Structures are given as structure tokens and as C-alpha cells.
Structure 1
Amino acid sequence: MKLSKIIFITAVSVATVAVILLALISPVVHRKPQRNQTKPWLALSLYIQPQIASPNTQPVARPDAGAFVFHHILTEGLENTSRVVGKAQGFIIPIEHFAQSAFNIIYLTFDTPEFSGSLSVQATHVGHNDKEELMVVGGTGSFAFVRGLAVFAETDRQPYDVNAMYHVKLRLRVPNRAQPIPG
């Protein structure tokens, strides 16, 4: 019986050493977990250009009435001949009583080979500043579920002018699209 105990203990010891060695020097490749193939942050720099009104169109902004309503174009560059990448539309009431209004949203709509969809920018803290930092609160299409920051800076010094041009810098957090949607 003593010999069978020795054989049993030896077999268990050899098996334990084999498992430990296989775990340490296994031919299986040890990889770091792969990140999502898309970049988690997206930075864009665009310009909001006023549309040239035709004789048949009504004015799109009424800052004298207490509301700033606009429908402009988004371009890649500062020049009015730059490539048009989308539209910028919004309805902002810069009066103190309506500063927290849910209507104060700027929609940036994109239609390019790279991006198709829209961004919603919340404009609850709009003042008469040369530069405004606003929150991106969502989007559609290529921008579905994004969050981030939108910095609007006037390229000329005429606040709430219908013909003012704005430089928009977007820093967007793109959600991990590799995760399945529960449901």
C-alpha cells in the first residue's frame, strides 16, 4: 500500500507541475484586449456661413424681437467658396427668462461621404460673448449617441448679426459601437 501511495502522490505532483508549466509557457498567444476599431474621440473644425438671401426669402433672424432663428450652411473652410458639408439651424431665445429653455438647440446636419447625420447642441448658456462653449447632447446617423463640446467663435465682432460667420470646433465622444444594444 505504501508503494501505491507513493505512485499516487508522484502522479498528482507531476500533473500539478504540468498544469503550471502549460499555463506559463503555453503556445496560445496572449493578447491585450482589443479596443474598438473606431476612435473614441472625434475632432472637427467647421465654419457656419450665412446663406445669401434671394429676393423671395424672408429674413431668418429676428434678434430685435428677442429670438435668434437661423438657417445657415456649414463649410470646411473660412472662404464662402469652401466645400459645403451641411447645414446649421437653430432657434435661440437669449433673453434671461428663456435661457434654460428646451427650445435653445442648434442642429448641425452633415451630408458628406465621411459623415451623414446630425448633432444637437444645447445652447442654454448663450451670452453676448465672442466665444461660447456649448454641450453636444446627442446626434443621429454617424453621430448617434455622441456627447461632447462645441466651441462657437465669431469670426467678426458683430454679436447676433444675421450675416455673422462662426468658427465651430467640435470635440465629440463617440460611443463604443462594438457593444450590443440590450433588448
Structure 2
Amino acid sequence: MFSNKFIFCGFVISAILVVILLATLSPLPHSKTPSKSWLALSLYIQQPQTTVVPPDAHTVAPQDAGALIFHRVLTEGPKNTSRVVGKAQGFIIPVEQFAHSGFNIIYLTFDTREYSGSVSIQARNSGSDRKDELTVVGGTGSFAFVRGKAFLTQKDDTNIVVPYHISLHLKYPDRSETIPG
């Protein structure tokens, strides 16, 4: 009986010593390279190349349109021959009562050496004069948990197909914060 208590106390003391040694001898996290907190990207959402529409003919979604679903190419520059960095996909409900809906989302998916992942943009705030300020609500991969703003603009040129310019201002979360749980 005495030997069982002695063995148990030996195990407890050994476990405590191991925890103390691990806590004091474990390597510290590498903090020599500062983590990025902000990122600005300037990209272009290419429009499909179609035949030229006469200036007086406008292609507008009818009033009773259900949803606008689109798949476009995302490039570094404004020309359709610019380097492709990913794709832009979206789901927009253009009906008045859904103008502020959480369903209006644009996904930018990146597949480059620098960035791999996606950015989710909520298209709630509509601007005027072909300019929109949108809210970045999250991301995956290289853009995990980002927040920020996206500015979407398009020049009004009736003679040629002009891509949308999207300027992203992304903020990465403070990685030192812990998630409550």
C-alpha cells in the first residue's frame, strides 16, 4: 500500500516537472517578420466580349428580373489580354425590396503565386455615377478573415466594352487576439 502511494506521487511530480520544462524550454514564436495588417489591390473584372451595341440601345435587366448571376475573369490590367489572376462570380437580386439583402454577394477567387483564396464582398451600398462602395465581409486562404472596403467603378463608354475596376482595401485581423469560446 505504501509503495502505490509512493509511485503515484512520483508520477505527479514527474508530470509537473515535464510541464515546467516544456514551458521554459519551448521555442518562442518567430516575430522577426511583422505580420501584414493592410493590403491594397487594384484589379479588373472583364466583361464578356460581345458585338457592339448601338449607343441608343441599353441592356438593362427588366423590372421583374429574378436574379443576376455572373461569372467573369479577374485580371491585373484593364485590357482583356492582361494577366488573369482569378475569377469574379456574383449573385445579385436587383429588385427594390432586396436592394439591401444579404444575398447580394460578389466572390473574387485568386489563384496566383502571390495569393490563393477568395474574398467575399457584400453588395449592399449602391453609389451613383457608376461608382459603388462595397463591404468586404471575409475571405479564405491568403485572405482568411479579412475585412475592408471594395470600390467598384466603370467608365461610361458606349463604343467599347469596358471592364469594371475594383480597388480592394483589406484589413487582416489582429492575430494576437484570441477567439472567445
Question: Same fold, TM exceeding 0.5?
Answer: yes
Question: Structure 2: how far apart are the matches of 1:172 and 1:35?
Answer: 23
Q: Equivalences for 1:1-183 in 2 at 5 Å?
A: 37-52=34-49, 63-64=61-62, 65-126=65-126, 129-157=129-157, 164-177=162-175
Question: Structure 2: how far apart are the matches of 1:103 and 1:69?
Answer: 11
Question: Structure 2: how far apart are the matches of 1:107 and 1:143?
Answer: 12
Distance 1:35 1:172, change over 3 A: farther
Give the conservation status (yes or no) of the 8 Å contact 1:151–1:169: yes
SS of the residue aligned with 2:97? helix
1:72-114 CA-to-partner distances (Å, cap 9, x unmatched) read 0110001111000000000112222011222100001101111
Give the conservation status (yes or no) of the 8 Å contact 1:51–1:71: no
- Name structure 1 gaps, 5 residues minimum: 1-33, 54-60
Question: Structure 2: how far apart are the matches of 1:155 and 1:48?
Answer: 13
Identity %: 60
1:13-58 CA-to-partner distances (Å, cap 9, x unmatched) read xxxxxxxxxxxxxxxxxxxxx69712211000000002458xxxxx
Distance 1:76 1:121, change over 3 A: same
User: How many pairs does the alignment contain?
Assistant: 139
More off after superposition, 95-104 vs 61-70: 61-70
- Name structure 2 gaps, 5 residues minimum: 1-30, 51-58
1:18 corresponds to: none
Give the conservation status (yes or no) of the 8 Å contact 1:156–1:165: no
2:4 corresponds to: none
2:8 corresponds to: none
The higher radius of gyration belongs to 1
Distance 1:94 1:164, change over 3 A: farther
* Per-residue deviation, 1:175: 1.7
SS of the residue aligned with 1:63? coil
